[in-house]
Structure 1
Amino acid sequence: MKTSTKYIALFTLALSLTVTSCKKNKAEETAKVEKIVPENLKWSERMMLSEMERFPKPSLLDFRTSPKWSYTPGLVLSAFAKVYEKTNHKKYFDYIYAYADELIDSTGSIATYKLEKQNLDMIKSGDVLLYLYPKTKEERFLKAMQTLNSQMESQPKTSDGGYWHKEIYPHQMWLDGLYMAEPFHAQYARDFIKDEAEKQKIYNDVVLQFDLIQKHSRDEKSGLLYHGWDESKEQRWANKETGNSQHFWSRGMGWYGMAMVDVLDFLPENHPGRAHIIKYLNQFAEAIIKVQDESGLWWQVLDQGNREGNYLEATGTTMFTYTFAKGVRKGYLDKKYLEVAEKAYAGLLENLITVEENGVVNLNKCCGVAGLGGKPYRDGSYEYYINEMIRSNDPKGTGPFILASLELNK
């Protein structure tokens, strides 16, 4: 009996030591997980470092397998530039510079860019050059900007002066196009056009794009704007009476909101078009808050929150958050909209942001892509919008998340 008790005591001791050892090993393993992204930083910097971890080469942002001149690096790297201005960490500037350095050769030619495609999306990364050139004075960056500006001069237009979205999308204005091109065009005019008459002509043309999209795409009843407008009314997605597409797409409206608050940075204070855009921004804000979900987020198809298949979407939500926060800070919107931005941001953190063990931040439930027409044909139906790819960390969400985080100082 005593021997049995002795064995039981020894077994219990051994088991206790094993458990203790396992716990210790597990704690050591946990401690060994290196924090790639420190959690004591602000969300803007945390997301920026997470993107740099996901995409060590900036030319491969947006999950690319080969470098391409496209709009998403322009969006994300412009956000990075704002973080760099606050932190002055050289590795951030080097990352921004690496994109332009790789894509633009010594003559100023832009790799993969084709002027003849007249694609407004390609203008957006010109914002990176507008940022880099004053700091580097590299002639190749100036020449590349001049090429992009020449596209704006030759871009085909609707009968009343609205830019076609692309050569392959004739007679069409999309909400996306205003964000892709107008902030660049206005800033280029301000900083690089010497002739005053030419400068004013560009400012007037910029404002005209907002006037026309309001005229053609705004739904008077809801105040929301349709994703696309086809002047010819020939597209299958276009209403045969109005030329509008069928639905109010979250990110389409997000592009438009950001276009308004950003282009106002470059229009002169005395330009009459400022009042137009500020008016449109206020109408936009009134319409957008009516379709905000209780969670603070917005739906992929904005006005059909309860419809089967619809989902609370990240990219549109981050864009609206940025638009409201910046609009209030700059005095364009009533201060009540700051509460809307705060609610949206809290909703993002609670529902759509996750943080990995190593500190890397993820933004989930991003619509990967959406458009109209093309091949295969995108018909702009409700089913089309809800069935496009959903993924995490789409740069069309991470970029605006950084911008919103900076605006709200989170």
Structure 2
Amino acid sequence: MDAIEMYINELMEKSTPDCPAWNIEKLLLGEKSDWNYIDGCMIKAILEMYAITKDSRYFEFADAFIDHRVREDGTIDGYDVNELNIDNINAGKTLFELYDLTGKEKYRKAIDLIYSQIGMMPRTEEGNFWHKNIYPNQVWLDGLYMCQPFYMEYETRFHEKKNCGDIYSQFANVKQCMSDSETGLYYHAYDSKREMFWCDKVTGLSQNFWLRALGWYSMALLDTMDKADSSDVAEVSNMKEAFLGLINAMLKYQDESGMWYQVVNLGGMDKNYLETSGSAIFSYAILKGVRLGYLPESYAQYGKKAFLGICDRYLHLEEGNMSLGGICLVAGLGGQNRRNGTFDYYMSEPIVKDDAKGVGPFLLAYTEMVRTGWTYLS
């Protein structure tokens, strides 16, 4: 077992479904964990570890974690469909895999329950889901990852592709409304009504290019394409073009360390820092994109460089245990804290270690590195 697998096993040993060691937001608040995208990211990564190692510990941990939340009738402890929070769909992706592995009917029922939220989500005038009911008329890049891969898998597996056109349309709208023609990057969020204090009153866009949001979007494109039906040739080709364009844009800003900065295009600015979660996401997205044929083989070097850069800078021993640092805890727009999306705002959010928003993508990137034959020798 290499050092990274030891690190993941340490986190698993310290975690319970109600108190996972990687959910730093809940730990800082002293709250019990519930159904949330953070745990969903981590369990998805643990299932990916099972897929490549066939070590039953990973499967058993993931199954026990999700089983603890899902009741026999398919309802989920800590999940309310009527909250209309797009983030809460993300953890549903684990249910497809666990249903296939276990055959538990309650997982199939829970999949249907989460899918029912999609039909209830309010939409912008362009047709995209609001990020949350409490953020009316707003599309955030994060939300594409939280919903669309689940949405696509449901449509192709259980719904005869009836709403796949809706999925492709939402991605097309994001490219049209949220991309920047000069840099090729995408802004964090868009207010279709141009009413929020953080948006440009002409374009509706927020001010900056936040690394992790761009990362979530890259994974949204990649993982949705991965679940799409191969017969949707033109639609998938458009998504592939958007994915390649985003990766090409990001490579222009890749630091010599292999990582990317918290605010991507302002690497020389005081306080800006090389951030782990977004860098790990792009490592994963590039390596998986190459493996699936969406990117040229030559791009693998950039994904590997990002992963090794994270290891060099932020993965180290602390009191005898491995720890992963450099993770932005959270960033958003609006809300009770009046988050305004300025450069100073993105610099003000806490930087933490061992949070699943960094550890999950790092572990996903690790599984892609292992698929290339790489081993961690430190």
TM-score by length of 2: 0.93
Q: Does 1:119 align with 2:79?
A: no
**1:193-227 deviation digits (Å, cap 9, x = unpaired):** 2xx3xx2x321111112111111110000000000
Once superposed, what is the RMSD of the aligned Cα atoms? 1.5
Deviations 1:24-68 (A, max 9, x none): xxxxxxxxxxxxxxxx4263x334213213424475341333130
Q: Does 1:80 align with 2:40?
A: no
Query: Is residue 305 of structure 2 the alignment partner of residue 339 of structure 1?
Result: no
Deviation at 1:270, TM superposition (A): 1.6
Residue aligning to 1:330? 292
Residue 338 (structure 2) pairs with residue 372 (structure 1) = no
The answer (yes or no) to whether the contact 1:58–1:96 under 8 Å persists in 2 is: no
Structural mapping, 1:7-406, within 5 Å = 40-41=1-2, 43=4, 45-57=5-17, 60=20, 61-63=22-24, 64=26, 65-193=31-159, 196=160, 199=161, 201-271=162-232, 272-356=234-318, 358=320, 360-406=321-367
In the alignment, is the contact (CA less than 8 A) between 2:45 and 2:361 conserved in 1? yes
CA distance in 2, matches of 1:182, 1:46: 32
Is residue 284–residue 364 contact of structure 2 (8 Å, CA) maintained in 1?
A: yes
Calculate the TM-score normalised by the size of structure 1. 0.86
**Count of equivalent residues:** 364
Whole-Å Cα distance in 1 between the matches of residues 337 and 41 of structure 2?
26
Measured after TM superposition, the shift of residue 135 of structure 1 is 2.2
Which amino acid counterpart does residue 332 of structure 1 have in structure 2?
Y
- Residue by residue over 1:360-393, the C-alpha shift from the partner in whole angstroms, topping out at 9 and shown as x without a partner, is 3211110000011111211111111011010001
* Structure with max Cα Rg: 1
Residue identity in the other structure for 2:91? S
**Distance in structure 2 (CA, Å) of the matches to 1:89 and 1:378:** 43
Distance (Å, rounded) in 2 between the aligned partners of 1:88 and 1:106: 27
Deviations, residues 121-172 of structure 1 (Å, cap 9, x unaligned) = 0001101111111222222211111111011111111112111101111111
- The percent of aligned pairs where both chains have the same amino acid is 37
User: 1:250/1:54 Cα in 2 relative to 1: closer, same or farther (>3 Å)?
Assistant: farther
- Structure 1 residues 56 and 118 mapped into 2: Cα distance closer, same or farther (>3 Å)? closer
Q: Which amino acid aligns with 1:280?
A: A
Deviation of 1:266 after TM superposition, in Å, equals 0.9
Give 3-state SS (helix, strand or coil) of 2:190's partner.
strand
* Alignment partners' CA distance in 2, 1:265 and 1:58: 31
What is aligned with 1:34? none
Q: Quote the Cα distance in structure 1 between the aligned partners of 2:254 and 2:53.
A: 33
Q: Which runs of 5+ in 1 are unaligned?
A: 1-39
Kept in 2, the 8 Å contact 1:59–1:68? The answer is: no
Q: Distance in 1 between matches of 2:155 and 2:9?
A: 33
Where has structure 1 moved over 6 Å in runs of 4 or more? none
How much does 1:91 deviate? 2.4
Separation in structure 1 between the aligned mates of residue 279 and residue 106 of structure 2, nearest angstrom: 37
